[in-house]
Structure 1
């Protein structure tokens, strides 16, 4: 396997690269020399400024302790005390892929050169990624105003006091100003959001192929996808979706009249519902790109100004809002997939037996798929509930608002998992319907998607468990996204 070289420069990290490194399948990470130099300048400036002015978290405590000055005789241990006191995460351990993604994002943010953390922290994190040494990090402990517990646990592992789930590294020194500089980030939340963004993008692209197969099985009307229709209300995602369906279905000329005057919404309104989800994922990707390539640390060290600024970049309202919007649009897309599944089991739409059954009278065919799809759809509905309607007041009233982007990111991954199930149910039913109809797909680009699915799904039409088919269909969706 050819290793992918990932150069961490503090400026060019994207979600696809995060996902590739998170997978742990051969990415070599190295720190850009210019980034290391920026970190060095930032650290030296922060050290110098802290000798003659108050610097939050460096010469003071944190939170409501912001005015408690660190005594000179205990300054050497101040950083480690902060890490120890904040490493109180709970719940399940984060999966390895999320820990790798968190390390990469935090390293890239530190490489932007605004933290004032010692460069040895950056070198140690780069070593961790190269050697796949992963600290133990727990899931619960953040509300969208810095991932304090997750990064404190990581910092303690780097300092030689915290446990590792994979491998280990030599302990490094944590200076009085390093702890807050390291913890002041939402890197764990961003990691989960970036992985969700990549998966959602994949599933939405795969849904074009699945919907195209359902369109053929249901004798859809091409009028709803006509170029002129979508140019008349040219939202980018909607236009792109219609273009994809025209491409997959080989629509090259002015559409002919369809079998029905108007199709059910699952077919007719697909571009109008899929479009907002495509646009939402694109916007989420843009937000993540900014968040991953920024210096979020409070206080921020500006070498250019020769100054330190106290601010609120730890607050991730952009991210939580983008995630809420994305999950909401995804739920609508999943509803349409479930609606098309309902059409596929209805003889009035397919001219096939009810539930696509084949066998003695009373055979159930794919009846159970609707139950599976609506179970998953209900899970998605709950995951789509907005987190931005709540808030929290903590630290003796000083920190009186929270974005809950951490919970929004967690729910985004749950929503993606649920949508994968819904879409796989539609795919299994669509392929079965096309087999029963012996549909002619020779000249259509979507034929590749059909052949791929037909090659792995059991061709038996007898009543039988469909669990294995659903598992294979779920795995295939990643490949269908490329078509």
Structure 2
């Protein structure tokens, strides 16, 4: 995978993190240009000749290494190596975009770390959406050989004897703030979530098609004329795809419940929201979020590190996931009803048996978690560093919650899939329902690991 600071996508971040893709650097020109400018700067430069935060007005000599050692202080459980590897590729790509002023010689070392399975021991807690300072400071200390790298063969996904040289680079004081001035870990989590949610939302259309067929739901709401009357892109695309999966039969009922009749509108809104979030994340994957930004012949002190656009996009996305999951549980309820399926209640093999009744409990439990995870992070803020940093975006938490949404959304859809499968095929007496549900989960989980879609 070629990195140039301009074309990195969420799908590619996922492929490096979980697919073992190797990276190559196509050009260091922009990084070299900003480094050359940084070496010629005169006067005070934040974090280079001064302290940081409330210490911004205090002149210091070579403050960088102290900054790294003081900020490498995360807490909580370690994140999985794949997420740390995703952070490395995001930060490498951002540094290739130029503007940091860091010595470009460190960038091939980061590429080697990615390719040879080295990741920093990052802990879960330590960022509020104004830069992943603890994660990147920890990475910097690994480069300085002050902290040990975690090593895992990215091709074989196993720990083992290390044949490759440990990535080391003698970061200078002037490299410190340029290295950590980024939300790369947050963006990495967001990119992984975006990629997997794309596949889950696509799979949800296939699952809905099974339910449509199982209850003889009308395809009339999916008609092109209906979509043209209200031309939201996601709605039209979802309706067209679902139309292609259904056999056009005369409608059984004049109007079906909203889980069917409004599926294109609700699910289409979710896919539109996902697409907006993807564009937001991919903008930042390829942006110079540096403070200060080294551009032209100057150091521009700025707020590009702030994560408000990312946090807002992810808040909207998590809310949209709840809506699409709610419609899935609504369809699941109809699959339990003989009036819709023509089968015994709860898809049982005989009258009075419980059948698949428990699937509703499982789905509603998972949906409750989704609702909790959808609470917006952007309604809160934080004031720190003696009041000089007086707002926070909390995109870190928004991205973390987006990752946590994957499991409950998968479970909700798996419950519908299992029920629709039973509704479409006569149930086997005494067949363990857990087998159906687990197989449905495996089917949906495979969609999250599939090859990135072409665009």
Length-normalised TM-score, structure 1:
0.88
Q: CA deviation at 1:270?
A: 0.2
Q: CA deviation at 1:390?
A: 0.4
Alignment partner, residue 438 of structure 2: 471
- Taking the aligned partners of 2:186 and 2:368, their CA distance within structure 1 comes to 24
Q: CA contact under 8 A between 2:112 and 2:167: conserved in structure 1?
A: no
Matched position secondary structure for 1:177: helix
- Taking the aligned partners of 1:115 and 1:169, their CA distance within structure 2 comes to 25
Matched, 1:136 2:121: yes
Find 2:31's aligned residue among 29, 32, 39.
Answer: 39
Return 5+ residue gaps in structure 2 as ranges: 152-161
How big is each residue's C-alpha offset from its partner over 1:334-368, in whole Å with a ceiling of 9 and x where there is no partner?
A: 00000100100111111110110014x53211111
Alignment partner, residue 453 of structure 1: none
Find 1:125's aligned residue among 93, 110, 113.
Answer: 110
- Taking the aligned partners of 2:191 and 2:365, their CA distance within structure 1 comes to 26
- Taking the aligned partners of 1:86 and 1:53, their CA distance within structure 2 comes to 25
Matched position secondary structure for 2:221: helix
Find 2:430's aligned residue among 462, 469, 476.
Answer: 462
Matched, 1:185 2:152: no
Distance 1:380 1:244, change over 3 A: same
Alignment partner, residue 109 of structure 1: 94
- Taking the aligned partners of 1:171 and 1:219, their CA distance within structure 2 comes to 63
Alignment partner, residue 301 of structure 2: 310
Alignment partner, residue 329 of structure 1: 320
Q: CA contact under 8 A between 1:357 and 1:463: conserved in structure 2?
A: no
How big is each residue's C-alpha offset from its partner over 1:173-204, in whole Å with a ceiling of 9 and x where there is no partner?
A: 11111111011000000000000001111011
Distance 1:424 1:461, change over 3 A: farther
Matched, 1:347 2:338: yes
Matched position secondary structure for 1:394: coil
Alignment partner, residue 159 of structure 2: none
- 1:406-421 residue pairs with structure 2 within 5 A? 406-421=396-411
Alignment partner, residue 274 of structure 2: 281
Matched, 1:301 2:294: yes
Find 1:210's aligned residue among 204, 207, 210.
Answer: 207
Alignment partner, residue 390 of structure 2: 400
Matched position secondary structure for 2:387: coil
Return 5+ residue gaps in structure 1 as ranges: 1-5, 437-458
Matched, 1:269 2:262: yes
Distance 1:259 1:170, change over 3 A: closer
Matched position secondary structure for 1:169: coil
Find 2:2's aligned residue among 7, 10, 21.
Answer: 7
Q: CA contact under 8 A between 1:223 and 1:258: conserved in structure 2?
A: yes
- 1:6-25 residue pairs with structure 2 within 5 A? 6-23=1-18, 25=19
- Taking the aligned partners of 1:216 and 1:423, their CA distance within structure 2 comes to 16
- Taking the aligned partners of 1:70 and 1:469, their CA distance within structure 2 comes to 65
Alignment partner, residue 59 of structure 1: 49
Matched, 1:94 2:79: yes
Matched position secondary structure for 2:22: strand
Alignment partner, residue 240 of structure 2: 243
How big is each residue's C-alpha offset from its partner over 1:77-117, in whole Å with a ceiling of 9 and x where there is no partner?
A: x3221111001101111111111110000000000011011
- Taking the aligned partners of 1:136 and 1:248, their CA distance within structure 2 comes to 46
Distance 1:347 1:160, change over 3 A: same
